[in-house]
Structure 1
Amino acid sequence: MIAVWAPLLLPFLAAPLARRLADALSPRAAAWTLAGSAAVLAGGTLCSLGLLAAAGLLQLPPVAALGHLSLPWLTAAAPSAPLAAAVAALALAALTALAVRTARRHHHDLRTARAALPTKETRPRHADHHLTVVDDERADAFALPGRLHRAEPGRIVVTAGMLRALSAPERAALLAHERAHLTGRHHLFLALAEHAAAIHPALRLLRTPLGYHLERWADEVAAAHVGDRTVTARAVGRAALAANRSPWPARPKLAAAATSGPVPRRVAALLQPRPPRTGTRLRPVAVALAACLALSTAATMEATADLHRTVEAAQHSTGEPDD
């Protein structure tokens, strides 16, 4: 089962490639590239760990007896499987604990933010979201995702202090930015990046750039909505300055906000006439990233098939494997 180790090693090569490629793509394409790469690589890691654990589990006498497997054949075929399985099982247990802790933290943050909001809110006509204005002098604005199990729409949360810090055109750009976060379900991208980073250390490289490109995605949507890139850039800059002076403390980590990320870099991008086009010089990077993702997927499938062949051979064998 040599193929089972490839998905554990490929993220160290694929993550830097994905990060470099994303910088040359449009914000939306960059976000999807980073999120898709993280999902494939994290999934491959979990599958590999699961296969390693399963290979060792087969050598337990009760499991071998239940599956009518030849224990001597399995032991001779893979003498190091129990050790690798023990390590993989411990890793899976640790990852499960991290995933549960991360999910609970996100749930707690969102619940705390919802509890801090006023009960009265407005819903703009022909909109699928709520606009909640918090009567607070501290300046902040963010997109609070809804709850699917209650069919609750997302909310744009903005404080009175933030509204007073911006002009009318800037307020329109800010609300369009937050609306883009809700429409694009950017909180799911952020949650995916958090869990992927917990699964494999190399995928931590994708978390920060993904957050940046999600903000750039919303910036471009806002600029197209108001029809003025300069106004949008000014809204981002002034909102960030106002929020940094006195942020609202109840903003959850998964709630995307116009004041997040490297604001000077975002403002500089908005002051350009249009997003830069993808350079052909990075085509080899795209090919290399695609190859890494394909190889990770193929290796996982091959390792699964190899384990299946091992089980079949152990069921039909009564002795040690042939040399």
Structure 2
Amino acid sequence: MRIAVYVPLLLCLIAPLGARPLSERCEPRLATWLLTASALVLGTATTICLGMLAVTGLIRFPQLAGLGHWSAHTAQLDDPAELSIALIAGLLLGGAVLMAARMLWRRARTLAAAALQAACMPAEDGLVVVEDEAPDAFAIPGLPGRVVVSTGMLRTLDETERHILLAHERAHLTAHHYAFVALAQLGAAANPLLRPLATAVTYTIERWADENAAAATGDRTRVARTVGKAALATHDTHPHTPDAALGIRGHHPPLGGAGPVPRRVAALLAPPLSRHPVLSAATAAVLTATTLSTAEAAHDLHRLLETVGAW
């Protein structure tokens, strides 16, 4: 436990560095799975490790150690963690649990409201058209889900572009993208260091839907044009959207610093991405190291509790 308990915490400093490469160089569906798994596993592991460190501090107090029939004196001699570290871990653990619980509650309420709204919407083949001059389109998860498109968006796009838009939004529903976002955000709520992973998931699900639309239509260039056209139409209606997010400033910044829409367009204009075995293997190695170190730390804590209980 002296080293193993800190490994997941250290990996949480390193893992976010891989969020951008994974989202930009790896096939979107696989990237979404890897990023979501990373956020969830690392968030869970760090919470467990903080809990184990907090326990090592609690058993140093005679009143608390007595509840588990442990020796506080023995714990003070054999405990590998400093008391200050254990107390800090306890405070961080409380914050992580509180933020994760708050996120789960808000997400559950949002999904329940979305499902109820979807069930109440009259739809034809899962499509709901609303009378609104503002161009807009989005998917509402439910049983079944709905694709909502405004009349303003339908007038903005031609017939082929409408099919592309619907294919994109339906991909969000059929692939349950809302679940990937929720799980990644849960991991980031437990550990704010993992927020880049959750942010990357919100991008890769859009890329995933883009690729589904490209596969359905067989025209990547047309899909790229539709993505840009819909984004610009939405921007004209919602001017508070940052210009850089849509890449429409007077100068042309490097793509690496561009917002998600120009990056999606550039990806569609390029050949489809591969599974990138190196990045996949690196992510698998991080998740394996996290799992094994957490299990090792739990085993060490079990041995420590056995030692301080032998009195």
**TM-score, normalised with respect to structure 2:** 0.83
Instruction: Name the amino acid aligned to 1:145.
Output: P
The answer to which structure has the higher helix fraction is 2
Structure 2 equivalent of residue 55 of structure 1: 56
Residue among 186, 197, 201 paired with 1:195: 186
Shift in Å at residue 277 of structure 1?
3.1
Per-residue CA deviations over 1:113-143 (Å, capped at 9, x if unaligned) read: 678889542141xxxxx32222111111111
Contact 2:118 2:144 in 1 (8 A): no
Contact 2:119 2:144 in 1 (8 A): no
Structure 2 equivalent of residue 252 of structure 1: none
Instruction: Name the amino acid aligned to 1:176.
Output: A
Percentage of pairs with the same residue: 46
Contact 2:16 2:196 in 1 (8 A): yes
Within a 5 Å distance, the mapping from 1:9-48 to structure 2 comes to: 9-48=10-49
Name the SS of the counterpart of 1:157 in structure 2. Answer: strand
Taking a change above 3 Å as real, the CA distance of residues 248 and 107 of structure 1, as seen in their structure-2 partners, is farther
1:99 aligned onto 2:100: yes
Q: Distance in 2 between matches of 1:174 and 1:111?
A: 25
Q: Distance in 2 between matches of 1:286 and 1:116?
A: 38
Name the SS of the counterpart of 2:168 in structure 1. Answer: helix
Structure 1 equivalent of residue 286 of structure 2: 292
Taking a change above 3 Å as real, the CA distance of residues 38 and 116 of structure 1, as seen in their structure-2 partners, is closer
Structure 1 equivalent of residue 273 of structure 2: 276
Taking a change above 3 Å as real, the CA distance of residues 286 and 233 of structure 1, as seen in their structure-2 partners, is closer
Contact 1:14 1:293 in 2 (8 A): no
**TM-score, normalised with respect to structure 1:** 0.80
Taking a change above 3 Å as real, the CA distance of residues 288 and 262 of structure 1, as seen in their structure-2 partners, is closer
Cα RMSD, aligned residues only:
2.8
Per-residue CA deviations over 1:185-220 (Å, capped at 9, x if unaligned) read: 111221223232233243122233222211111011
Q: Distance in 2 between matches of 1:89 and 1:51?
A: 9
Instruction: Name the amino acid aligned to 2:218.
Output: G
Instruction: Name the amino acid aligned to 2:158.
Output: S
Contact 1:56 1:82 in 2 (8 A): yes
Q: Distance in 2 between matches of 1:12 and 1:275?
A: 30
Structure 2 equivalent of residue 141 of structure 1: 137
Structure 1 equivalent of residue 225 of structure 2: 234
Q: Distance in 1 between matches of 2:106 and 2:128?
A: 23
Name the SS of the counterpart of 1:10 in structure 2. Answer: helix
Contact 2:11 2:290 in 1 (8 A): yes
1:67 aligned onto 2:68: yes
Unaligned runs of 5+ in 1: 125-129, 147-151, 250-260, 319-323
Within a 5 Å distance, the mapping from 1:220-231 to structure 2 comes to: 220-231=211-222
Per-residue CA deviations over 1:134-166 (Å, capped at 9, x if unaligned) read: 2111111111122xxxxx322211111111111
Residue among 137, 150, 158 paired with 1:167: 158
- Aligned pairs, number: 292
Shift in Å at residue 63 of structure 1?
3.7
Q: Distance in 2 between matches of 1:306 and 1:265?
A: 46
Unaligned runs of 5+ in 2: 241-258
Residue among 291, 308, 311 paired with 1:314: 308
Shift in Å at residue 248 of structure 1?
12
